[in-house]
Amino acid sequence: MTLPSTHDLMTQLSSGALTARNLTQSCLDRITTLNGSLNAFIYVDAEGALQQADDIDRRRKAGEPVGRLAGLPLGIKDNICQKDTPTTCGSRMLQNFRPPYDAHVVERLRADDAVIIGKLNPDEFAMGSSTETSVFGPTRNPWDQTCSAGGSSGGSAVAVAAGLVPLALGSDTGGSIRQPASFCGIVGMKPTYGRVSRYGLIAYASSLDQIGPLARDVYGASLLLECIAGHDRRDSTSLDVDTPAWTTTLEQPLKGVRIGIAAEYFAEGLDAEVEQRVRAALEVFEAAGATIHSVSLPHSKYAVATYYLIACSEASSNLARFDGIHYGHRAGKFDDLVDLYCQSRSEGFGAEVKRRIMLGTYALSAGYYDAYYLKALKVRRLIANDFAAAFKAVDVIAGPVAPTPAFRLGEKLHDPLAMYLGDIYTISTNLAGLPGVSVPCGLTANKLPVGLQLQAPALDEARLLQVAHQYQVLTTWHLETPIT
């Protein structure tokens, strides 16, 4: 089945060939048919979505102004606050939470007339790489339902890949947009840290988290990023910089673009089929006039250890608020105040969240702070310096998104180290605060998607998206869809 592109849907909506209600209803019908097996959406507001669609159709028919996303249905990862809507982070801890406010990105979506259909399944508190830690159960890959959808934005990636919605929002702390996009054969982008406000994003690791778009093609991701990016005074890390019209610069040719290849991205542990597909993509760039250059990222071998020390330390701090008194699940039976804390957190958090809280608390504890957390911060700077040096010679860096295609559900769930090592190519982007994107670049012999990762200097989303889009102009991998 061929799914229409974002541009095609917008053209049909603006011309009147398609109404927002009809498009929204078709998405709701598809959710009804497929979501029971895929488990991408964990909350659907069908009535609210149709009301939004009807209002957009009425205003469009009356000649009133409408937003850039007018009539396009969209899903939101369930760690992003939406007023009076269940926002659980895939956790028992927040099973009854309905925020009294919208996240900044949700405000932006409403202003641009997106039709918000519902909330999408994440790993619990965005801690995971397979969307198996959610209290709602695992999300299944539409290409092979025995396989992982990736994580932690697995629900967002599956919803787009299976045609449940054309666009979705996810969050990326160490690859949580790009890796599921790779596993599901769609486009997923992590913007520069600070490009998109984190106000209303329930924090995992505050210095690493970033909200970003998932779409069927680069144009859709660019359009959605245009709508959600911009300064927000409520987020102290939000950058006060202009938001370019990225959709207007996508057609610039590849001739003269310098693409860097790091040997560290093609080392032991990389699946042979993944490497073949990525190297074939490099040949496409070279044939189109881009030049290929070797670069070095020598400290990337420390990225996994550095990331999990920093992320878990920040998680330990951020999740301390969920104690059964200030926020979150409260135990029904307890003996005293300390027991209330212990019982509430024990019942409310799942195994992976507890593991990361304990790792972070240990790393921050007296006597270990300098040896672990402080040292990780110093290595983080060295990783950022590697990228800065490399980008003096190239415009973007290309490589695989993940060492393997989608793995079997349950295969790594009880092997945390194997799961963590699957993030080896994505986490450096977050540690350095850079933008990165995954675009489909092929299928394995078993018909599982492979993603190509492109990384660019901070705030150079324009070049990143241009290169990614031009690759899609020259190939058809993004048009491949799962049989659903």
Contact 123, 133 (CB under 8 A): yes
Task: Tell me whether residue 378 is one of the annotated catalytic residues.
Answer: no
CA distance 466 to 249: 7
Contact 143, 100 (CB under 8 A): no
Backbone angles phi, psi at 396, to 5 degrees: -140, 160
Task: Tell me whether residue 152 is one of the annotated catalytic residues.
Answer: yes
Among residues 484, 481, 456, which one has the least CA distance to residue 468?
456
CA distance 40 to 171: 15
Per annotation, catalytic residue among 5, 129, 176, 238: 176
- Tokens for 477, please give them: 């991998």
Per annotation, catalytic residue among 5, 91, 129, 152: 152
3 state SS of 91? coil
CA distance 210 to 198: 7
Contact 398, 452 (CB under 8 A): yes
186 burial level (CB within 10 Å; 0-12, 13-18, 19+):
buried
Per annotation, catalytic residue among 77, 119, 190, 412: 77
- Sole residue written with tokens 């009854």: 96
CA 260 to chain centre: 23
Task: Tell me whether residue 176 is one of the annotated catalytic residues.
Answer: yes
Catalytic residues: 77, 152, 176
